[in-house]
Amino acid sequence: MTMTKKNVCLTGLAIPVMVAALLLLTGSRNVEANDQASAVNTAVNTAVNTAVKIDNFVFGPQTLTVPVGTTVTWTNSDDIPHTAVSTDGVFKSKVMDTDEKFSYTFSKAGTYSYYCTIHPKMTGKIVVQ
Ligand SMILES: [Cu+2]
């Protein structure tokens, strides 16, 4: 279980790098490994909600509880830009335009408060346990 979670979070970070590497060094073994990791990732994501949707100036759900090792993805479904920035500086998204996403993997238990730097009254919380 620990191994699986670790693989998932590494994969989340590594996918863009791997895709770029694959474009340069096309190797069938790497493609296969990447497909398997994606399948695991999908399975985990359907088991636990790991998504925060930004809509109408609200982070939803406002408090999201996830297990340690989870990659949380914020999606801006609003038609104006938003950010998701940790109050303690743990994570910081770039400005997300409509339909843009930001992901962060929580490897330590705790409560992570965050807000939108453009609209500081927009706040949310990720509880990692
Ligand atoms: Cu905002």
Ligand 1 centroid from CA 87, angstroms: 14
Ligand 1 centroid from CA 82, angstroms: 4
Ligand 1 centroid from CA 120, angstroms: 7
Answer yes or no: is pLDDT of 97 > 80.
yes
Mean pLDDT, range 21-45, rounded to an integer:
52
Ion ligand 1: residues, CB < 5 A: 82, 116, 118-119, 122
**pTM for the full model?**
0.64
Local structure of 30: helix, strand or coil:
helix
H/E run at residue 75: strand 70-76
Mean pLDDT rounded to a whole number for the chain: 80
Mean pLDDT, range 102-117, rounded to an integer:
98
Answer yes or no: is pLDDT of 98 > 50.
yes
Burial 61-93 (b: 16+ CB within 10 A, else e): eeebebeebbbbebbbebeebbbbbeeeeebeb
Distance set, CA 85 to CA 6, 59, 89, 127 (Å) = 24, 12, 7, 15
pLDDT at residue number 32: 54
Answer yes or no: is pLDDT of 54 > 80.
yes
